[in-house]
Amino acid sequence: MHRYEYHWPELALDPTIVRLLTEAERNRGAWKTSSEEAPTSLPSMASGARILSTLASNAIEGIRTTPDRGIAVAEGTVTPHTHDEREIAGYSDALALVQENYRAMEVSDNLILQLHRDLYRRSGDSLGGHFKDSDNIIAEVATDRKAFTRFKPVSASRTPDAVKELCHAWSETRQSGIISPLLLCGAFVLDFTCIHPFLDGNGRMSRILTQLLLLKDGYDAVLYSPIEAIIERRRQEYYDALQASSVGWHENISDLKPFLCFHLETVIECQREALRQIREQNDTAASKTQKVIAFMASRQAPFRKKDILNALPDISEITVKRTLAEARRDGLIALLGAGKSSAYVWKGER
């Protein structure tokens, strides 16, 4: 019987694991700094990432609709028509619940059942929110198109206790701080997948839980870059890593490294993409600020805010107001008069 124990001194010292953990932590610090420099960019990034996360996670399981419909269903702007669209909408609901409430969520068997219920609420399937009531298998189709059993998960009778033990072990280990939260997250997801607690929806649930655990430990780049899209793009590597790390799982002799490395690589790729996007946003914002400053420096006579807006129609009023305030603070401009008759004069170097 598998034991849910998360203490592997040898993995903590593995050079590949150490390198990946170091990069992930460095990226987390860089993301914190970069995101604080462009807070106005975050809502649109988060909205786009949630849509892509929803579509990618469902696509991994063969749940699809047309691109335009998929985006609209994930956004919640249209009523889902087909069974696949209802499943996409359910995933979007469950993911939104996690992303908006993760701080208050306690990782438990009840939460997992609740999220699974929400996953299937739109589709009307009666299996939502219930652990499997019969044993299942993880099958694979060979090149000759014959299916074979790749892995036999935990039995249906044992599943409720197994999920409770999994959640308890995660909580206890997290509180102890003996291993990296990133490794603990990867190990949890692997164990959850090997338990395979539901008759359907295990893969999508594993990815929702991945986001939940990462968010609870401060790896919030997943809010702004869809980690599910990375897994979809590397789908075969994902399956290969699961296969490699599930051999000997029941006997507690499995090699966790393949799946943990894959997990860390996807987190890092997610962080890199979030950083790339936010830096592009920062560069764009800086460029617009420089345009406003250049305009002000070129003016010999006093000027008003509306003069800047008329001269630079591609720059928003918010950006102009912010730049004016910063320029006054830095002594680059001075305010003349008050009210509607007020104007600015350039005081800096030309």
Could you tell me which residues come within 8 angstroms of residue 177 by beta carbon, excluding any fewer than 6 positions away?
none
- Residue 151 identity: F
Two tokens, residue 108: 């438990």
Task: Indicate the angle between helix axes 257-298 and 317-329, nearest 10 degrees.
Answer: 70
Catalytic pick among 2, 116, 196, 263: 196
Do 140 and 150 meet the contact criterion of CB atoms below 8 Å apart?
yes
Q: How far apart are CA 172 and CA 56, in angstroms?
A: 32
Q: How far apart are CA 17 and CA 126, in angstroms?
A: 41
Q: Please give the annotated binding residues for ATP, written as ranges.
A: 200-207, 238-239, 252
| Chain position carrying tokens 């992303």 | 99
Could you tell me which residues come within 8 angstroms of residue 295 by beta carbon, excluding any fewer than 6 positions away?
308, 311, 312
Render 73-123 in DSSP notation, one character per residue. HHHT-S---SHHHHHHHHHHHHHHHHHHHGGG---SHHHHHHHHHHHHHTT
Catalytic residue status for 263: no
Do 245 and 256 meet the contact criterion of CB atoms below 8 Å apart?
yes
- Active site (catalytic) residues: 196
